[in-house]
Chain A
Amino acid sequence: MASDNPKVPNSEAVGSQNPVKARRQVDVVGFVRKYGMVLALVILVVLGSFLSEAFLTPRNLLNVARQVSVIGLLAAGETFVILAGGIDLSVGGVLSASAIFAAYNQNLPFPMLVLSTVLFGMLFGLTTGTLVSRAGITPFIATLGMGTIGEGVAMLLSEGQPIFIENNASIFTTLGNGTFAFIPIPVIVLVGSILIGQLFLSGTTGGVYLKALGGNEEATFWSGINTRKYRTLSFILSGAFVGVAAILAVARTSVGDPVVGQGTTLDAISAVVIGGTYLGGGGVGSVVGTLLGAFIMGSINNLFNLLNVNAYWQMVAKGVIIISAVYIGTRKKR
């Protein structure tokens, strides 16, 4: 109201000062956001090499990479959901269900098996997405429910017993434990999937719309973008990555374990958050960041193991790290 008064001097100058001030701010924030994680990983590796001789060896590092492959894939899928302003608490339950699904259908030709497992995961995502975008159930509740359903489905199909791989065994073993040019195949699958995810995110309209959805759902809707469709898509993508993770999880142990997903959801979310994606909206983040987040968490675990730190202390430390990452994230937002 009062700002309409035409007699006011200096209003032009006031308006033009803001961007200058903002520019300096953005550069600092942008730098921390861009390189903070890489910095953290570098510090961790340097620290690790001093603390333990066994840490900075190719063999150990590849081992770390192999260990984070399943969580890394879950986290990559989770990134899409969190980036779009949601949360997916179902990845662990769906991982169990998908792993059992894969082991249950081990007689299928291998490409068919992979495809159907990925579709199985996507079906969970589609259901969740529909519940969220059509029925208006909050992602927290919808995915909590779908995750529990996933756990139940895993138990029903397996009758509570692990399903061992007998058919296709050699392919599974190669996939889970083989190497290609000294690099473990699970790591190749992880990095390849991450790259595909990142290409989608930074190269397509869908990627931009997911970020927009997380940044401001209302404004995205008002911009003439089908928000329901992209909200659903975020969950479908998450489901697809869970499907790939399930194949890896089965391949690494040659067994379909109905409780393989237990405890993995929070690890996946932690990797996403440590990887710099804003939890609870903002629309800022990347899949590559999540990969770094997963590696940071994996390295810390590995270092603790090498140093013989009590497993319970490891849990405490992990909690502290997650809270710190979120705290730094919210500080950046302001």
Chain B
Amino acid sequence: MDTLLKATGISKSFGGIQALDRVNFEVAKGEVHAVVGENGAGKSTLMKILTGVYQRDEGQIWFDGAELSAKSPSQCRRSGIGIVFQEPTLIRSLDVKTNIFLGNYPYRKVPGFVNWQKLREDTCSVLEELGVTIDPDTIVSDLTFGKRQMIEIAKVIAHRAKLIILDEPTSALSDEEKDCLFGVIARLKERGTSIIYISHRLPEIFEITDRVTVMRDGRYIGTESTANLNADSLIKMMVGKALEANLHRGSVVADEDILKVKGLGRGKVLSDISFNLRKGEILGVFGLVGSGRTEMARALFGIDKIDCGEIWLDDKKVAIRSPVEAVALGLGFVPESRKEHGIIPLMASGMNITLSALGKCSAASVVNWNSQDGIARGFIKKMGIKVSSPKQAVVNLSGGNQQKVVVSKWLANNPRILILDEPTRGVDVGAKAEIHNLIVQLIKEGLSVIMISSEMEEIMRLADRVLVLYEGRVSGVLDLEELNEENLLKSIHGHFWRPDQNTKGVME
């Protein structure tokens, strides 16, 4: 087996945070090599180093018999390492041939004038190599997502890539499109191209990869031949960490439902979502990207319309068609994207805090500024928000403090149910611990919380129960006793966990 890529002792840190710690990694010629690991394991950092987006602090990379000296994405591409990102990079308004050879057009005798005939022929030959039939003159926006993915791959092939990195390539594909992609991968393999396949979906890994490399916490755990592994043994390699104490464990959850959701459905994104939230409980929501975590919360909060399903609050059926109605019913939502959905950047921090509760400190729309200021200052003190004054624009605060402002905005409204979507994303370690303690404190004060998180550690520390979603469906509800990494990983990969009410096994 010839080695195409060999990386040894790769380390990378960002501002004192070790993202990769002496990682070794090897890819053979003509193999499909899976890289797996939880969120934060360091997969994407490693790939960014291989493609020249980041520079390594330490370590060596040999590629195709020579040391890889490329220092930028375009140099790496020229040396033969191509990547197909999760996010589409095609220009949708242009046609296929123009996209595939973007920046690399064949010219006529006069430079600057494109030889369209040759471009068309080159495109046909690349597509033929992949074994797909697409008219090179088709506008990209007229193609399905699956076809667009093929174009992305063709674009990489057109640059004569010897190693192609596919990052979660099937996340937006239908089953047939996926089969077609796997056909293309098989063809590429035949002609000796190596593929690094990054995916959270275990069945796919077992279907098409030759070897698997497991990463965890920025470290290299091991490489195994796929044939020697099964789902259980792979998950064991991915976990392997001692359990952290659950912060919330031992607190009292009432045996009474505050919220019941029955058969919630929305297009193809959510189907038949049913669960209950008990008073004073932290219900963790866990799942992969695209599992419907955030979509479920958005539907619940009235941001997206639902097609079917019922929401019951205190045993009363309610309709939530907009955030206005959700807020009136006592719900709050700390969104995943603070910048987009959380803060008004140039507005004063204090005003951001009282934005949602402003109606409560005003009479006939006239604001009582004393009471507004009192509320703002109260939360700045209670939450330990570091501001020079309540007038300081929220955009000038650190990420953790901004997050505290957003949480305060909802607490000022005295909600009964608080939805937290990735409550500690992009905040530093200290602020993270503070926010965790705050959540526990709030539960003790009688709030009920739905907490979405992609960090297993966070879920394990805080949740009383965990609702696991897989491809828009409930794939398991884990009680505190059943809550461990192995069970969580099984559920997020669609393994049927427990025959609960209304839940069905998704995988064989």
Q: How far is the CB of B449 from chain A (nearest CB, A)?
A: 18
Contact of A215 among B347, B367, B392, B409 (CB under 8 A): B347
**Given A19-B396, A224-B356, do A5 and B343 touch, yes or no (CB 8 Å)?**
no
Chain A 1-42 per-residue mask, 1 if CB under 8 angstroms from chain B, else 0? 111111111111011101100110110000000000000000
Contacts of B400 in A (CB 8 A): 15
Q: How far is the CB of B353 from chain A (nearest CB, A)?
A: 11
- A19-B387, A221-B323, A224-B326 known; A284 vs B344 contact (CB < 8 Å): no
A205 adjacent to chain B (CB < 8 Å): yes
Measured CA separation A288–B206 after assembly (Å): 68
Q: Which of A279-300 contact B (CB under 8 A)?
A: 282-284
Within 8 A of B (CB), among A113-168: none
B324-A4 in contact (CB<8A)? no
Docked-complex contact B16 and A18, CB < 8 angstroms: no
- Is B306 interfacial (CB 8 A cutoff)? no
On whether A2 and B40 interact (CB within 8 A), knowing A18-B398, A208-B355, the answer reads: yes
Does A9 lie within 8 Å of B16, measured CB to CB?
A: yes
Q: Is the CB of B367 within 8 A of A204?
A: yes
* B366 in contact with A219 (CB, 8 Å): no
A222 at the interface (CB under 8 A from B): yes
**Cα distance A284–B395 when bound, in Å?**
13
Of A1, A14, A218, which is within 8 A of B428 by CB?
A: A14
Write out the residue numbers on chain A whose beta carbons fall within 8 Å of the beta carbon of B17.
Answer: 2-3, 5, 8
B317 sits at the interface (CB 8 A): no
| A23, A25, A215, A220 interface centre (most CB from chain B within 10 Å) | A215
Q: In chain A, residues 200-223, which have Cβ atoms closer than 8 Å to a Cβ of chain B?
A: 203-206, 208-209, 211-212, 215-216, 218-223
**Per-position contact with A for B329-351: 1 when CB-CB < 8 Å, else 0?**
00001010000111111110001
- Which of the listed residues A19, A26, A221, A224 has the most CB atoms from chain B within 10 Å of its own CB? A224
Judge whether A226 is part of the interface by a CB distance below 8 angstroms: yes
Specify the chain A residue showing the minimal Cβ separation from B335: A222
Best-surrounded residue of A7, A219, A225 (most CB of chain B within 10 A): A219
Instruction: Check B45–A208 contact: CB distance below 8 A.
Output: no
Q: Are B347 and A2 in contact (CB under 8 A)?
A: no
- B residues within 8 A CB of A11? 16, 428-430
- In the complex, what's the smallest C-beta–C-beta distance from B393 to chain A, in angstroms? 6
Interface digits, A52-79 against B, CB 8 Å rule (1 contact, 0 not)? 0000000000000000000000000000
Closest chain A CB from B330 CB (angstroms): 11
Q: Which residues of chain B have C-beta atoms less than 8 A from A209's C-beta?
A: 358
| Interchain CB contact (< 8 A) of B303 among A2, A14, A222, A278 | A222
Cα of A148 to Cα of B30 in the assembled complex, Å: 66
Interface string of B115-146 (1 = CB under 8 A from A): 00000000000000000000000000000000
Q: Does the CB pair B367–A8 fall under 8 Å?
A: no
CA separation between A14 and B351, bound complex, in Å? 25
In the assembled complex, how far is the CB of residue B134 from the closest CB belonging to chain A, in whole angstroms? 34
Report chain B residues within 8 Å CB of A224.
323-324, 326-328, 356, 413
Contacts of A16 in B (CB 8 A): 386, 398
Is B442's beta carbon under 8 Å from chain A? no
Taking A3-B17, A4-B40, A224-B324 as contacts, is the C-beta distance between A26 and B365 under 8 angstroms? no
Give the nearest-CB partner of B355 in chain A: A223
- Contacting residues, chain B, for A223 (C-beta < 8 A): 323, 327, 355-356, 409
Chain A 104-118, CB-CB to B under 8 Å as 1, else 0, gives 000000000000000
Cα–Cα distance between A82 and B61 once the two chains are bound (Å): 54
Cβ–Cβ < 8 Å partners of B387 in chain A: 19
A206 to chain B, nearest CB (A): 6
> What are the residues of chain B within 8 A of A4 when measuring CB–CB?
40, 429, 432, 455, 457
- A26, A205, A225, A283: the one within 8 Å of B396 (CB): A26
Are B18 and A2 closer than 8 Å at their CB atoms? yes
Q: Are B356 and A219 in contact (CB under 8 A)?
A: no
A211 to B392, Cβ gap below 8 A? Answer: no
Q: Which of A2, A12, A205, A219 contacts B358 (CB 8 A)?
A: A205
A139 to B219 CA separation, bound complex (whole angstroms)? 52
Which residue of chain A has the shortest Cβ distance to B454 in the bound complex? A1
What residues of chain B have their CB less than 8 Å away from a CB belonging to chain A? 14-19, 39-40, 42, 44-45, 217-218, 301, 303, 322-324, 326-328, 333, 335, 340-347, 351, 355-356, 358-359, 362, 365-367, 386-388, 392-393, 396-398, 400-401, 409, 413, 426-432, 455, 457
Give 6 A-B contacts (CB < 8 Å), ordered by A residue.
A26-B392, A211-B344, A211-B347, A220-B344, A222-B323, A284-B346
Contacts A12-B430, A212-B344, A224-B327 known; 16 new A-B pairs at CB < 8 A: A1-B42, A2-B14, A4-B455, A6-B429, A11-B429, A14-B15, A22-B396, A203-B367, A204-B362, A212-B355, A219-B341, A222-B333, A225-B323, A225-B324, A226-B322, A283-B346
